[in-house]
């Protein structure tokens, strides 16, 4: 069974750093792109970027380029989303999701990680 | 940057047909995909490649495409269909970037 299990909710202060994770299981982790999606409170879905764990090829939405870093550790089948200096506006639910092979949609989603940034 | 435009809300009575549109300049060249999201849950794919239905999705969900607009149709709407619906597609400029529409809240009256 394909599963994407994300790390737990985080409460951070502005200026702090953070790295959240997404662990894949039940499939060949290195053979599928993993993407990240932001959903701010009461708002819609925003595509942030995507990584191919096999070779760490990474693509970013222009809106998120330079604001976050997407990475992966294929040895432990885990993808990451990280911030070096959080802002209150980073408060959101973040989902990881697996790209369907050869297609441009997500077929499996993680449960989401809620990040709250508040002083 | 590439954008997909959806109506913010659609309302229908149970048993009626709901149609949710999504417009974007690249849609004649790129497939569209539709996700359903209920409160507190992760999105679920309901239509892929404009009109294909994943296994496990009820037949009342269908999709179509015409020019720069794609449409998600839900026939015989049920109360459980009340949710947010998002279209999604890919930038056709070769940059490998995806985009979501702003989402449509379907209310079952």
Average pLDDT in the B26-55 region? 95
Average pLDDT, rounded, for chain B:
94
pLDDT for A45 = 97
In terms of C-beta distances under 8 Å and separation of at least 24 residues, what long-range contacts does B38-47 make, across chains too?
B38/B82, B38/B83, B38/B84, B42/A95, B42/A97, B42/A109, B42/A110, B42/A111, B42/A112, B43/A37, B43/A45, B43/A95, B43/A106, B43/A109, B43/B86, B44/A109, B45/A105, B45/A106, B45/A107, B46/B72, B46/B85, B47/B72
**Candidate from A64-73, A87-96, B84-93 with smallest mean pLDDT:** B84-93
State the first-to-last Cα distance of chain A, in angstroms, to the nearest integer: 40
B46 pLDDT higher than 70: yes
Q: How confident is the model at residue B97 (pLDDT cuts 50, 70, 90)?
A: confident
A103 pLDDT higher than 90: no
**CB contact B102 to A (< 8 Å):** yes
pLDDT tens digits, residue range B61-71? 999 999 999 99
Q: Report how far residue A49's alpha carbon sits from residue A106's, in angstroms, rounded to the nearest whole number.
A: 12
pLDDT for A96 = 98
Nearest to B86 among A35, A44, A103 (CB): A44
Q: How confident is the model at residue A101 (pLDDT cuts 50, 70, 90)?
A: confident
Query: Is the distance from CB of A81 to CB of A7 less than 8 angstroms?
Result: no
**CB contact A59 to B (< 8 Å):** yes
Question: Residues 66-85, chain B: which have Cβ within 8 Å of A?
Answer: 84
**CB contact A52 to B (< 8 Å):** no
CB count in 10 Å sphere of residue A49: 23
pLDDT for A13 = 98
């Amino acid at each position: 069974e394909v599963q994407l299990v994300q790390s737990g909710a985080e409460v951070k202060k502005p200026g702090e750093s953070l790295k959240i994770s997404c662990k894949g299981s039940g499939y060949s982790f290195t053979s599928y792109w993993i993407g990240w999606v932001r959903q701010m409170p009461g708002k819609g879905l925003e595509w942030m970027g995507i990584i191919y764990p096999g070779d760490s090829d990474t693509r970013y939405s222009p809106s998120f380029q330079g604001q976050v870093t997407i990475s992966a550790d294929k040895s432990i089948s885990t993808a990451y989303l990280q911030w070096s200096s959080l802002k209150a506006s980073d408060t959101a639910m973040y989902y990881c999701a697996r790209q369907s092979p050869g297609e441009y949609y997500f077929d499996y989603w993680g449960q989401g990680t809620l990040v709250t940034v508040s002083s | 940057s590439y954008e997909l435009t959806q109506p913010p809300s659609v309302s229908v009575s149970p048993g009626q047909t709901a149609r949710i549109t999504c417009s974007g300049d690249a849609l004649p060249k790129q497939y569209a995909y539709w996700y359903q999201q209920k409160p507190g849950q992760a999105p679920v794919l309901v239509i892929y490649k404009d009109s294909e239905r994943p296994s496990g999705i009820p037949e009342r969900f269908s999709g179509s495409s015409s020019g720069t607009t794609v449409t998600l149709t839900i026939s015989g709407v049920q109360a459980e269909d009340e949710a947010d619906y998002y279209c999604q597609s890919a930038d056709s400029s070769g940059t490998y970037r995806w985009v979501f529409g702003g989402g449509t809240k379907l209310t079952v009256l």
